[in-house]
Amino acid sequence: MEYIGYSFEEPKKQTHKGKETGKWLPIELIFDNDDDFNKATSKVEKIFHGYDGDGKAIISIYQDSSIKYIVDLIHVTYDTYANSIKLFPKYCERTKN
Protein backbone atom coordinates (compact mmCIF):
# COMPACT_ATOMS: atom_id res chain seq x y z
CA MET A 1 0.00 0.00 0.00
CA GLU A 2 1.42 3.36 -1.05
CA TYR A 3 0.72 6.90 0.09
CA ILE A 4 -0.26 8.88 -3.02
CA GLY A 5 -1.13 12.42 -1.89
CA TYR A 6 -3.82 14.55 -0.34
CA SER A 7 -7.39 15.48 -1.22
CA PHE A 8 -9.15 18.72 -0.36
CA GLU A 9 -12.28 16.80 0.69
CA GLU A 10 -12.91 13.64 2.64
CA PRO A 11 -14.24 10.71 0.60
CA LYS A 12 -18.02 10.54 0.54
CA LYS A 13 -20.74 8.37 -0.87
CA GLN A 14 -23.06 9.32 -3.68
CA THR A 15 -26.61 10.26 -2.69
CA HIS A 16 -29.87 10.05 -4.59
CA LYS A 17 -32.98 11.73 -3.22
CA GLY A 18 -31.32 12.16 0.15
CA LYS A 19 -30.24 8.52 0.55
CA GLU A 20 -26.79 7.05 0.07
CA THR A 21 -26.50 4.80 -2.98
CA GLY A 22 -23.51 2.87 -1.62
CA LYS A 23 -21.21 4.08 -4.41
CA TRP A 24 -18.24 6.29 -3.61
CA LEU A 25 -17.72 9.58 -5.43
CA PRO A 26 -14.43 10.10 -7.29
CA ILE A 27 -11.59 11.64 -5.27
CA GLU A 28 -9.37 14.22 -6.96
CA LEU A 29 -5.75 14.72 -5.98
CA ILE A 30 -4.08 17.88 -7.30
CA PHE A 31 -0.31 18.32 -7.39
CA ASP A 32 1.64 21.59 -7.38
CA ASN A 33 4.29 20.55 -9.86
CA ASP A 34 5.16 17.98 -12.50
CA ASP A 35 7.64 16.11 -10.31
CA ASP A 36 5.10 15.39 -7.55
CA PHE A 37 2.50 14.43 -10.17
CA ASN A 38 4.93 12.06 -11.90
CA LYS A 39 5.92 10.40 -8.61
CA ALA A 40 2.26 9.88 -7.67
CA THR A 41 1.49 8.50 -11.15
CA SER A 42 4.33 6.03 -10.77
CA LYS A 43 3.00 4.92 -7.37
CA VAL A 44 -0.50 4.40 -8.82
CA GLU A 45 0.92 2.29 -11.65
CA LYS A 46 2.72 0.13 -9.06
CA ILE A 47 -0.54 -0.23 -7.11
CA PHE A 48 -2.31 -1.62 -10.17
CA HIS A 49 0.43 -3.35 -12.14
CA GLY A 50 3.26 -3.98 -9.68
CA TYR A 51 4.32 -7.40 -8.46
CA ASP A 52 2.77 -6.77 -5.02
CA GLY A 53 0.02 -4.48 -6.31
CA ASP A 54 -3.19 -4.88 -4.32
CA GLY A 55 -5.22 -1.96 -5.72
CA LYS A 56 -5.12 -0.08 -2.40
CA ALA A 57 -3.67 3.34 -1.66
CA ILE A 58 -3.45 5.77 1.24
CA ILE A 59 -4.53 9.40 0.95
CA SER A 60 -4.66 12.20 3.49
CA ILE A 61 -6.86 15.26 3.85
CA TYR A 62 -5.33 18.67 3.09
CA GLN A 63 -6.75 20.55 6.09
CA ASP A 64 -5.58 17.89 8.56
CA SER A 65 -2.82 15.60 7.32
CA SER A 66 -3.31 13.31 10.33
CA ILE A 67 -6.63 12.16 8.77
CA LYS A 68 -5.82 9.30 6.43
CA TYR A 69 -7.96 6.97 4.34
CA ILE A 70 -7.28 3.58 2.82
CA VAL A 71 -8.82 3.58 -0.64
CA ASP A 72 -9.53 0.38 -2.60
CA LEU A 73 -9.38 1.52 -6.22
CA ILE A 74 -11.40 0.42 -9.23
CA HIS A 75 -10.12 2.92 -11.78
CA VAL A 76 -7.89 5.99 -12.05
CA THR A 77 -7.69 8.82 -14.57
CA TYR A 78 -4.86 11.29 -15.08
CA ASP A 79 -5.02 14.93 -16.20
CA THR A 80 -1.53 15.87 -17.36
CA TYR A 81 -2.48 19.52 -17.99
CA ALA A 82 -3.86 20.13 -14.50
CA ASN A 83 -1.43 17.75 -12.74
CA SER A 84 -4.30 15.88 -11.12
CA ILE A 85 -5.27 12.28 -10.53
CA LYS A 86 -8.88 11.21 -10.11
CA LEU A 87 -9.39 8.08 -8.04
CA PHE A 88 -12.52 5.95 -8.42
CA PRO A 89 -12.84 3.95 -5.19
CA LYS A 90 -14.69 0.73 -4.60
CA TYR A 91 -14.30 1.21 -0.85
CA CYS A 92 -12.81 3.80 1.54
CA GLU A 93 -11.94 3.41 5.19
CA ARG A 94 -10.60 6.01 7.60
CA THR A 95 -7.51 4.78 9.41
CA LYS A 96 -7.18 4.91 13.14
CA ASN A 97 -4.50 7.33 14.32
Question: CA 85 → CA 15, 29, 81, distances in Å?
Answer: 23, 5, 11
In three-state secondary structure terms, 28 is: strand
Mean pLDDT of 8-18: 89
Res. 22: pLDDT tops 90:
no
How confident is the model over 34-57, as pLDDT tens digits? Answer: 999 999 999 999 988 878 788 999
Sign, CA dihedral 43-46-47-52, equals: negative
